Structure 1
C-alpha cells in the first residue's frame, strides 16, 4: 500500500495568493457597480446614496475575510 503524505491543501498553496487577488478585484468591481445603481435600486437594497458613496470610496483591500464574491 502506498501512502501519500502531501495533502491537497499543501499542493495548492500557491493558489492562495492568486485567489486572494481575484477576491480583491471582485470587491473592487462590486464597489464600482454600487456607484452605478440608481436611487430606486439603492432603496431596494436598503442603503442611501451617501452610504453607497462611502462604501465605494473604500480601498479594495479594505474588505473582511468573511466576504464571499
Structure 2
C-alpha cells in the first residue's frame, strides 16, 4: 500500500498569544466550576460520574488538552 502525501498543503501554525491563552484559561475554569455544580442526574445525562466531574473540575487552570 502506498502512502499519499500532499506537498501543496499549507503549514498549520498554532500561535497562541498570552491574551488568548488567558481568555481560554478563564473560560476553561468557568466551565469546570459549572461542571462541578451539576447534580448527579445531569452528570448522568452527560455520561459522567461524580468522580469524573470532580477530577475534571479539580484540574489546574493551565491543564487543558493540547488540541485546544
Q: Same fold (TM over 0.5)?
A: yes
Q: Does 1:47 align with 2:48?
A: yes
Gaps of 5+ in 1: 1-12
Structure scoring higher RCO (CA < 8 A, sep ≥ 6) equals 1
Distance apart, 1:36 and its partner CA: 0.6
**Number of residue equivalences:** 54
Q: Which residue of 2 aligns with 1:6?
A: none
Note the aligned Cα RMSD (angstroms).
Answer: 1.6
Give the helix-richer structure, 1 or 2. Answer: 1
Shift in Å, 1:16: 1.7
- The 4+ residue runs of structure 1 with deviation greater than 3 A are none
Shift of residue 58 of structure 1? Answer: 0.5
Residue of structure 2 in register with 1:64 after alignment: 65
Structure 2: runs of 5 or more not aligned:
1-14
Which TM-score applies when normalising by structure 2? 0.72
Give the Cα–Cα distance (whole angstroms) in 2 for the partners of residues 59 and 65 of structure 1: 14
